[in-house]
Every structure is written in C-alpha cells, then in structure tokens.
C-alpha cells in the first residue's frame, strides 16, 4: 500500500513539473526508521521503498539523500518528507537567502522559506536542512531543490507545490 | 452524474496548469442552494460535491471559499462557478487594478477583468467578488486567483482558461 | 476514421499547449468541400467533423472560422488546415509584421511567417490569410493565432508546433 | 523489446517537453551497427527502429540525423544516443559557445556543455558533435538541439533532462 502512495504522489510531482527525469526522492516515517525511495528511481513509476533504520546500516539502494530525511525526522515531529527540484525555487535560491511569498497561499502555507547551503548528499546539508525545518516546513537547498516536511506525503507534496507556485510568481513579478 | 462533471472539468483545469496541488474549487447551482467541491480535495480526482443551502447550516466539508460562491449566485444569474489559481493571472493582479486583454479571444470573452481585494475565505472578499461579477464574468482576487461565473462548468472553465491565456500574453508582451 | 484522425491530432495539440479550452479548429479537404470541427468543440475529444460544401449552405454547427479554411483551400493546393492559439506566436504577432525564426527547424520549415490583420470570423481575415498562405504554409492572425496548411493534418500540426517552437526561442532570446 | 524501450523513453521526452511534434531521434548500439528511430516518426508512439550497419548501406527510413549517431559511436564508448530539441538549450546555444550550469545537478552531471556548429544532417555537424562527445556526454548543436551519449537510453535521456533543467535556470537567472 505504501508503494501505491509513493507512486500516486510521484505522479503528481511529475505531472506538475516539480520533478523531472529520476530526480527527487520521498520518505515516510515507520517504526524505528523510515521508508525511502530507491536511488535513481523514477518517482512517477511503481517503486519499492527501502526501510532505513535510525540505528543500523543504511541499505545501498536507499536514496543518496537519506541523511537529510534522517535529520528532518530527528529534529521535527513530521511523518513524511518530499524532496523535489522545482526550477523556479532552485533559481530563486541562487540569488536569495530566504524566499518571502507575495501570493495569498504562499503567505498562509509557507510565509518564509529559508535557503540553506551544503553539498547534495553531505552531512552538512543534512544538518542545515534539519535545523531550518524546525522553523518552517519547507526549505530550499541552494541551487539544488526543496525539502518539505509534512504529516503525510500529500501534505509534503502540497507544501512543495505551493512553494514553487510562490517562487514562480516572484520570478514573474521581478520582470513586470 | 454531477461527480463526473466536476471531475471532467477538474482534469482539464489541472492539465492546463490552471490549478495545482489541491487548490481551487468549483460549484454548480441546485434547488435552494449549490453543490460545491469538498475542502482540500483534488479537483482532478473523483469527489463528492457537498450541498450548501442558501438558508441553513454550511456542512463542515464544504470548500472554505463557499462564501464567494454564495455571493456570486445571489448577485448574478449564473449557474456554475470555477475558482482557480493560475500563475499569470495572480501575478498581474499584484501589479494592476484591472486586466485589459490584448489578444482577440480575451477582447471578446473578458474585455475587462477587475481585480478586487479581500482575504481568502473572508466575507469582505465574497462581497467584492459578488459585486464585480455583476459587471464581468471573471474577476481576480488580488494575489489569490480567478473566480469565473458561467451558465455551466464548461463555460466557467473556458472563461478561466481565456483569462490566463490573456494574462500570459500581457506578461510576455511586457518583456519584449 | 476521420473522427479518429481529428482526435489524434487534437490530443497532440492540447498536450503541447498549442490549444487550450475549446479554442482552435481543424479541417480536411473532401469531395467538393471540406470536413471541419464543430463550433465550440474540444479538439482533444472525439468529435464529429461537419461537411461544408464549397458551393451551398454552411451548416450552423461548423466552426465559425470556416471562412478562413474555405479561402485557404481555394487559394492553395493544401489538403488540411490547423488553426491554433499558441501563446508565443500570438504574443510575437502583436509586435511584429513577420516572424523570422532563429533556430534550425524554423529556418527549414517556416523561414518567414507572415502576420496578417482582420477580425476573427471575418471575410477580411479569410482573404488575408488565404493570400498569405500562397507564399508560406503558416500564417499568424495578429493577436489571434496560427493557421497552418499541409498535405495532411499531421503536417499542418507539425508546422504549428515548429512555429511555436521558433516563436518561443525568439521570445526568450529577446530577454537574454 | 527494443521497441518498448524506445517508446518508454520517447514518452518521457515528450511529457517533459524535451521534444515536440515529430522532432528528435534516438539510437541504441547493436552488433556491427545501431538501431535508430525512423525519419519523421513520433518518439512517444510505438515505432520500429531501423538497423544501420557501420559498414554498408543506410536504409532510407533511418533518421536523417544518422551521421551524428554514427560518429558518436565511433568516437566514444557509449551505447545509446538521444537527440532532442529542448527550447532553453537551443536558446542558450544561440548566444553562448559553452553552457556552464549553476545548479547542483548540472554541476555534477554535465559541468560544461559544449556548443558546436554545423547544418542539421551534415557530415560537418556529425564530426563536430563526435569530437565534442569525447570530452562531455552532452553537446548542443547551435540553434538545433542536444545530443546526449549514455550507457543506456535512460542515461542519455537523463542527461538531456538535466541539461535542459540547467539551461532553464540559467535563462531565468539572467532575468532576475
């Protein structure tokens, strides 16, 4: 059933252009660990999420971004994480240290979106994202992509969608 | 059958990028009230619209935007309402008090699109949208989204699509 | 079988964003007339094209743009016409009198795309488009949309797609 | 089975907007030659790739870009090639001699993307692309499109997707 949920949300992320190719990853909290998408898997296709224990070895097939998911679960009460590569969010993160939405939904859902530094897959990025997620539910890794933490995969996806919507509007506003 | 109609139009709105995530809502006039999409439902999936009576309690599952739909039915002769969050329409609404299309379809279908103020879900927004809908059939809530009033869901969707088409062209023109 | 062909091409036009809502229309040459999509029909859904004789009454259900199709068949040897509303083509037509592609495909397929005037549905527009189609196979009606004339619906669709591709690149180039 | 693989990747390329119409082509290395998509075929539909021997006649149905594929196989150890027409990559190629991504994925996957000259279908273009593919795995033919060389069609597609992602971000950055 978890498979179906991952695929359902993955298809929405792909349809909205929030991920492309086989980029991005997702996870859901379990008992003593979390289920995460496999490395290099297409989020819009059926996959078999891998269980990563909080204490113990990390399976080789787990997404290489597992450290960030791990840190978010340790530092927040969230139960699901979505990482995507939305083009406007990534672009804004290259020129700002925080994103402040101008549209109503952004103001309600993610009024301040922090931008943090760190190389993809590194422990530094994981720590920075984990810390930032204590304050907001969506964070942008500079030049890389969004990490959204929710109660469910749906909520994490919706935060991602709202963030990109806000970033797109800000980008267009800058050119009017 | 109403379910199918809502889903059919919802899928078109999603496919064109006029709504994303679970944003947006729709309603159709009934006897002594109207059928409206549920709060937090995905418009592109089968849903079960909720009946809201003009006089009487509003079911908790009804979209939180019901006040605007209510006001539009009271003030106009329309029989269907579509509310979407199209990115170019929202962007233009943040810098203009009315949108005047430059393309042929916009000139015919929605020659002047008013922009009104008010917080999402508020009575103030509902009143402002209702008043504006007496003059035109599409209105933009500033920084929030479009409200289109038609004879049918198809017509309300087409007004939404034409509005975003016009706003996109105006946005591009400003950059040529 | 003609139905299926219209739907197949209509779905591609919609998927690429070359038409939205129920805008646009298509026709194919027949014996002593042509088959054209119905007025207000969705091009991506099964429809029943209407036969319009070159001499005789025009059925009320025929697309209101039939005059342009008529004129193109009279003035060129083409056997299929696609009319779409692609956003970049329409935008460029509002600021130029002809579009000259900068990309390789545009240079090969539609090296000069004329822009002509005339109100949608008018005889003036039909005459201007028909004349322009003698020189090139794609023409843009200013502020309105593209008309492409081909041997087949596929060819007319491909001309439309190539035209929008070229216009999008020109629009982006102007902003780099 | 090869048919299915070509269609699967072609559908992804079309869904992401990396190809439109019947533009673009793909090939996979075989024994003493390679299988390539047919000229003028839609990549998102089932097709029957044509075998082109390294020594011997080229079938008339083979994509007219076969020379570039041929040269890439001769000069690199790759086993699959994807050629697409992504709009941002083509646009940047008209104003730059090389593309240097600003985003994390681009920096990892395609840190420098050469731009080379040559007419579509010409031997000159084939030689230039082949030479450039010795250094990087993705190259842009100026004003024309991307050529990506991978171990598999998936890899060549992912390189194409990452290249367009990077070009889109660079294009947006130039306007902020």
DSSP sequence for chain B? -HHHHHHHHHHHHHHTTSS-TT--EEEEEETTEEEEPBTT--TTS---PEEEESSSPPPTTB-TTHHHHHHHHHHS--SEEEEE--HHHHHHHTT-SEE---SHHHHHH-S-EEEE---TT-HHHHHHHHHHHTT-SEEEETTTEEEEEESSHHHHHHHHHHHHHHHHHHHHHTT-
DSSP at C103: S
pTM comes to 0.97
Query: Above 80 in pLDDT, residue D1?
Result: no
Q: What is the CA B168 to chain-centroid distance, rounded?
A: 17
Mean pLDDT for the stretch of residues B125-142? 95
Interval A140-151 mean pLDDT: 98
Q: Which of D154, D165, D176 sits opposite A20 (nearest CB)?
A: D165
B153-174 per-position pLDDT tens digit:
999 999 999 999 999 999 999 8
Return the partners of chain C (3 or more C-beta pairs < 8 Å).
B, D
* Subunit contact D88:C161, Cβ cutoff 8 A: no
Residue C113, classed as helix, strand or coil, is strand
With a cut of 90, say whether residue D174 has pLDDT above it.
no
Taking only the tens place, the pLDDT of each residue in A48-90 is 999 999 999 999 999 999 999 999 999 999 999 999 999 999 9
Contacts of A8 in chain B (CB under 8 A): none
Using CA coordinates, name the residue in chain B closest to A160. Answer: B21
Q: Does position B1 have pLDDT exceeding 90, yes or no?
A: no
Tokens 């204590």 correspond to what residue? A134
Using left for φ > 0, alpha for ψ between -120 and 50, and beta otherwise, residue A131 falls in alpha
DSSP β-ladder status, D98-99 and B25-30: unpaired
Q: Is pLDDT at D132 greater than 80 in this prediction?
A: yes
Q: Which of A15, A108, A176 sits opposite B95 (nearest CB)?
A: A176
Residue C125, min C-alpha distance to chain B (Å): 13
What are the chain B neighbours of A15 within 8 Å (beta carbons)? 14
Six-digit token string for B45: 């999936």
Could you give the CA distance from residue A164 to residue A161 in angstroms, rounded to a whole number? 5
**What pLDDT, on a 0 to 100 scale, did the predictor assign at position B175?**
79
pLDDT of residue D135: 84
Chain C residue closest in CA terms to D118: C104
**Facing residue for A174 by CB, picked from D15, D16, D176:** D176
pLDDT value at residue B71: 97
pLDDT class of B2 with cuts at 50, 70, 90 = confident
Model ipTM over 0.90: yes
pLDDT of residue C175: 79
| Minimal Cβ distance to D16: which of A20, A95, A119 | A20
pLDDT tens-digit series, residues C66-121 = 999 999 999 999 999 999 999 999 999 999 999 999 999 999 999 999 999 999 98
b (16+ CB within 10 A) / e for D1-20? eeeebbbebbebbbbbbbbb
The predicted pLDDT at position A94 comes to: 97
Q: What is the pLDDT of residues A18-56, one digit of tens each?
A: 999 999 999 999 999 999 999 999 999 998 999 999 999
Confidence band of C176 (pLDDT split at 50, 70, 90): confident
What is the three-state SS of D88-120? HHHHHHCCCCEECCCCHHHHHHCCCEEEECCCC
pLDDT of A3 strictly over 90:
no
B95-129 pLDDT, tens digit per residue, is 999 999 999 999 999 999 999 999 998 999 999 99
Probe site for chain C from D11, D12, D16, D20 (most C CB atoms < 10 A): D20
Using CA coordinates, name the residue in chain B closest to C172: B176
For chain C, strand residue ranges (E) read: 25-30, 33-36, 50-53, 80-84, 98-99, 113-116, 138-141, 145-150
- Flag whether residue A22 sits within 8 Å of chain D, measured between CB atoms: yes
CA dist B48 → B21, B45, B155 (Å): 18, 10, 21
Alpha-carbon span B4 to A164, nearest angstrom: 30
Residue A12 has pLDDT above 80, yes or no: yes
- Over residues A3-22, the mean pLDDT reads 96
Q: Are D90 and D160 in contact (CB under 8 A)?
A: no
Q: Do B171 and A176 touch (CB under 8 A)?
A: yes
Angle ∠(D24,C78,C18) on CA atoms, nearest 5: 45
**D11, D173, D13: which is closest to D85 by C-alpha?**
D13
**pLDDT at residue A176 above 90?**
no
Delineate the domains of chain C, giving CATH numbers in brackets: 2-172 (3.40.225.10)
Residue B4 has a CB neighbour count (10 Å cut-off) of 9
């Amino acid at each position: 059933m978890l498979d179906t949920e991952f695929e359902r949300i993955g298809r929405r992320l792909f349809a909205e252009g929030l991920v492309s190719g086989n980029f991005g990853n997702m996870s859901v909290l379990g008992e003593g660990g979390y289920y995460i998408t496999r490395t290099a898997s297409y989020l819009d296709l059926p996959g078999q999420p891998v269980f990563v224990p909080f204490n113990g070895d990390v399976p080789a097939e787990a997404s290489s971004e597992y450290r960030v998911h791990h840190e978010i679960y340790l530092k927040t009460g969230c139960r699901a994480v979505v990482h995507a590569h939305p083009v406007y969010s990534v672009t804004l993160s290259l020129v700002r240290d925080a994103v402040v939405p101008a549209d109503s939904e952004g103001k309600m859902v993610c009024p301040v979106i922090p931008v943090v530094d760190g190389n993809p897959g590194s422990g530094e990025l994981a720590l920075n994202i984990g810390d930032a997620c204590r304050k907001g539910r969506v964070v942008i890794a500079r030049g890389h992509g969004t990490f959204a933490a929710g109660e469910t995969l749906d909520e994490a996806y919706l935060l991602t969608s709202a963030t990109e919507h806000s970033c797109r509007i800000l980008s267009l506003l800058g050119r009017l």
